[in-house]
Structure 1
Amino acid sequence: MSGAQTQQFDYVIVGAGSAGCLIARYLALHTDATIALVEAGPSTGDIRTSVPVYYLRLYGSQFDWGFATVPQPQLAGRRINWPRGKLVGGCGATNAMIYLLPHELARQRPTWNDDKFTAECPFSDLPLGRLQQLQLASEHFLEVAEQIGWTRQATWASATPGTCGPFTLTQNADGSRAHVGQSIASQTNNASDRLSIFAGHEALLIHTDSGAGRDWRVRSVLTRDRSGVEHRFFAGTEVIVACGAIGSPALLLASGLGESLRPIGCHLQDHLVYPIIYQHKTLPAFPRRFGTRIRDAFRRGKPSPMHSN
């Protein structure tokens, strides 16, 4: 660590997922602070992070942390995959692009402010759309939901009980994926001299000063880049850990802060991936391969199975 390269910023943000990009954008646009946004993965993805239908191919790739649960007794000892995005944009660059507003109960809390959420949330200006080509099986599902009394909506983003509809998606006009990592640089262009994005820097430890008990502050972050070189980012104001429900507690524990911050990781939430595969005797199957006609339609922005999540 003594040979680590050092840099000084006002704020150091660890993790360039949706939360990290939001915080970086807010600080860049509303303060004069210098900001380091540190991300373990690369700055961009490849065709799989652009074409919606390919998102399942990202699991276990270089853009996924590759987490899984411990063996589950209720599943005969099987593990459940727990994909987490590993690039600028985080899971927004690798997931199924489903856009959901906070639940109504959360928005009823006294601390909630709709105007502030809209103004400061990076998703408020992400391109939104709906499935350009609804699969026949999905259409039948929605018809049955209506038959049992659910209210169908043109696009479904509210998570309101008793409603259904095609998901609202974070999708560009041409059908490609939209995520906050794509726009963080352009949105903060006027602050480009103050916001620095360090992709390929995996955080190893966060360092505190020598305060006793809880009377201490985090002062710096130690990272290692893809070449194996260590870097230490000092924060004059604050270090912000935004590594997700798994990564944030893991980094704090690795840094020896488990006892000081107990119960560490409490109330952080995430979801696993457990696919359900079924066969139907009459409904057409989703295509396994995409021929020239389908690929050409996608390139022209016309509805095609490749737009589907």
Structure 2
Amino acid sequence: MTTIENADVVVVGAGTAGSVVVRRLVDAGHRVAVIEAGPTDGRPEIASPFGAGALFASEVDWALSTVPQSHANGRVLYQPRGRSLGGSTILNGMLYIRGARSDYDAWAAAGATGWSWPEVEPYFRQLENYDGATDGARGTHGPLPVHRNTDPDPLVTSFVDAAVQAGHPYNDDYNAGDSRGASYAQATVDNGERVTAWRAYVQPVVDSALLRVITDALVTKVVIEDGRAVGVEYLQDGARRVIRATKEVVLSAGVFGTPQLLMLSGIGAADELRQHGIEVVRDLPGVGRNLRDHVASPIVWESLRTVPTPRMTGIEAQLITDSGDAGAIQPDRQAVFVSFVYSTITENLPEQGFTALAILLHPHSQGRVRLRSANPADAPLIDPGILSDPRDTEALVDHLESLRNVAQQPALTEWIKSEVYPGPEGMSRDGLRDYVRASADSGHHQVGTARIGTDPLAVVDPQLLVHGLAGLRIADASIMPTTPAGNTAAPTLMIGERAADLILGNG
């Protein structure tokens, strides 16, 4: 059975950027249909800042995995991605970081005209409802609450103090200019609850007559007629349905879902599409390429004292620094401090402890997303190529050593009984290299698989329209040319804001 319906704009994916696009278009008077593969956001754990663990591998998580990573001891890396209204904002770390001016200026210099820092910064202010003192550098009337950690516990305070003792500056607001330094976290929480993109943007207008929300529906392809996207096909309750778009289709299916859907629709590298028996609509060899992600390796300490219960999200302080690597955009290192034990290596972990994640913000390694088959229900093949560039292993070793220096400062030594990981066996540089290969993990900030630009491997132009097709736009993290210097939720929300303006002719 096939049911045909229509809307002005069809948005595929009710996640981070998709929620923004939906709200802005409804506010502008457009009829919008949004299609989400997962269910509604009714699970009570979604509201809890500490509830994400219960959501992993549940019906609201795509629960994807990489192929074995040959440069990381052959390990398969878990890739949680939200599958519900709100997308990955239902289970992310809630840390709100815009990224650095240098990130966006580099995008513009590489062909993303209109995406330099002066051009994107107003969109950050537009989306923010920041509770800190402001001189106009921050937004205070946007739909998204952004709260400071104004009551840090003694352990979190000790980490920030130790970083300052180690020579790093204290930064009261890393989103107001230069992001470098030791800072208390800013998070998307309000009244003790997680605020997802859906709840911030769409929930206030969910009853609008202009909005249709379709859940538990798997989009199988974009319908293209005479070089124009005119709708999408999807499966729901065992029935095949088509919804047509009178203006355009917006893909917000994420860094894995968007390239998969493009390829299923005949948009991608022609030779690979033919291998799966898919008719080529548009030969775009860049689809699925340029998969980039932050890469992280933890330092785990056993605590001498009782570790305080986290007061905000568990991720309550951070340190952003430069490495001085001439081949990387600066700043390019982040350390996220968590008041609990977190490690990819699970043996011999302490009962009382805490962790600093050494994160590379601009790793040199990159990978690719490919089709597993022409069946839309089959997860794509994900190969991030973690540590495939040896410079990343060396940079993580350097980063771990710099964090050990922070741990040796008086403010933090009073908390530390011992370093569990890397531990004494990892004290040499060779030992630390081995530890990095055994422990390195995804930063869960994947971007880039349908990147913006004008070169032959770019997938969308600076207006976010897919090259060579009309009426098909992409608004999610897949359009980012490189990872930003920080967590990706805020930049993805910004992309949603800018995409909506482009659709409305205001960009």
Q: TM-score normalized by structure 2?
A: 0.51
Matches within 5 A, 1:42-81: 42-81=39-78
- Find the counterpart in structure 2 of residue 38 from structure 1: 35
Matches within 5 A, 1:261-300: 261-267=284-290, 269-271=292-294, 276=298, 278-285=300-307
Structure 2 Cα separation of the partners of residues 7 and 121 of structure 1: 35
Given candidates 223, 246, 260, the residue that maps to 1:207 is 223
- Find the counterpart in structure 1 of residue 18 from structure 2: 20
Residue 230 of structure 1, CA deviation: 2.1
Closer, same or farther: CA 119–232 of 1 in aligned 2, 3 Å: same
Structure 2 Cα separation of the partners of residues 85 and 283 of structure 1: 35
Given candidates 20, 27, 30, the residue that maps to 1:29 is 27
Matches within 5 A, 1:1-309: 3-30=1-28, 32-106=29-103, 108=105, 111=114, 112-119=119-126, 124-131=142-149, 134-154=152-172, 156-157=174-175, 160=178, 162-172=180-190, 174-188=191-205, 192-209=208-225, 211=226, 216-225=227-236, 227-258=237-268, 259=270, 260=282, 261-267=284-290, 269-271=292-294, 276=298, 278-285=300-307, 305=311, 307-309=313-315
For residue 92 of structure 1, what is the amino acid of its counterpart? Answer: T
Between 75-84 and 247-256, report the one with greater CA deviation: 75-84
Residue 114 of structure 1, CA deviation: 3.2
Closer, same or farther: CA 217–66 of 1 in aligned 2, 3 Å: same
Residue 242 of structure 1, CA deviation: 0.7
For residue 79 of structure 2, what is the amino acid of its counterpart? Answer: W
| 8 Å CA contact 1:93, 1:179 repeated in 2 | yes
| 8 Å CA contact 1:133, 1:307 repeated in 2 | no
Structure 2 Cα separation of the partners of residues 171 and 264 of structure 1: 35
Structure 1 Cα separation of the partners of residues 161 and 150 of structure 2: 18
Closer, same or farther: CA 69–157 of 1 in aligned 2, 3 Å: farther
Structure 2 Cα separation of the partners of residues 133 and 60 of structure 1: 33
| 8 Å CA contact 2:36, 2:84 repeated in 1 | yes
Residue 217 of structure 1, CA deviation: 1.0
3-state SS of paired residue (2:244): strand
Structure 2 Cα separation of the partners of residues 277 and 41 of structure 1: 35
For residue 25 of structure 1, what is the amino acid of its counterpart? Answer: R
| Equivalent pairs, count | 281
For residue 231 of structure 2, what is the amino acid of its counterpart? Answer: S
Structure 1 Cα separation of the partners of residues 55 and 69 of structure 2: 24
| 8 Å CA contact 1:150, 1:164 repeated in 2 | yes
1:232-280: CA deviation from partner (whole Å, max 9, x where unpaired): 11111111111111110011111221132321134565557x6736241
Closer, same or farther: CA 126–13 of 1 in aligned 2, 3 Å: same
Structure 2 Cα separation of the partners of residues 186 and 233 of structure 1: 23
- Find the counterpart in structure 1 of residue 362 from structure 2: none
**What is the aligned-residue identity percentage?**
25
3-state SS of paired residue (1:235): strand
Closer, same or farther: CA 83–160 of 1 in aligned 2, 3 Å: farther
| 8 Å CA contact 2:39, 2:215 repeated in 1 | yes
| 8 Å CA contact 1:153, 1:164 repeated in 2 | yes
| 8 Å CA contact 2:86, 2:198 repeated in 1 | yes
Residue 196 of structure 1, CA deviation: 1.0
| 8 Å CA contact 2:17, 2:252 repeated in 1 | yes
Structure 1, unpaired ranges of 5+? 288-303
Structure 2, unpaired ranges of 5+? 130-138, 271-281, 316-507
For residue 67 of structure 2, what is the amino acid of its counterpart? Answer: V
| 8 Å CA contact 1:103, 1:158 repeated in 2 | no
Between 261-270 and 53-62, report the one with greater CA deviation: 261-270
| 8 Å CA contact 1:224, 1:230 repeated in 2 | yes
For residue 54 of structure 2, what is the amino acid of its counterpart? Answer: R
Residue 53 of structure 1, CA deviation: 1.5
- Find the counterpart in structure 2 of residue 301 from structure 1: none
Structure 1 Cα separation of the partners of residues 183 and 313 of structure 2: 17
Residue 135 of structure 1, CA deviation: 4.8
Between 42-51 and 12-21, report the one with greater CA deviation: 42-51
Residue 205 of structure 1, CA deviation: 1.3
| 8 Å CA contact 1:206, 1:252 repeated in 2 | yes
Structure 1 Cα separation of the partners of residues 50 and 259 of structure 2: 32
3-state SS of paired residue (1:27): helix
- Find the counterpart in structure 2 of residue 297 from structure 1: none
3-state SS of paired residue (2:68): coil
Closer, same or farther: CA 113–255 of 1 in aligned 2, 3 Å: closer
1:139-158: CA deviation from partner (whole Å, max 9, x where unpaired): 33212210122222345446
Closer, same or farther: CA 142–116 of 1 in aligned 2, 3 Å: closer
| 8 Å CA contact 1:45, 1:87 repeated in 2 | no
Q: TM-score normalized by structure 1?
A: 0.80
1:75-110: CA deviation from partner (whole Å, max 9, x where unpaired): 221111111111111111111111111321245557
3-state SS of paired residue (1:219): strand
* Higher relative contact order (CA closer than 8 Å, sequence separation 6+): 1
Closer, same or farther: CA 7–248 of 1 in aligned 2, 3 Å: same
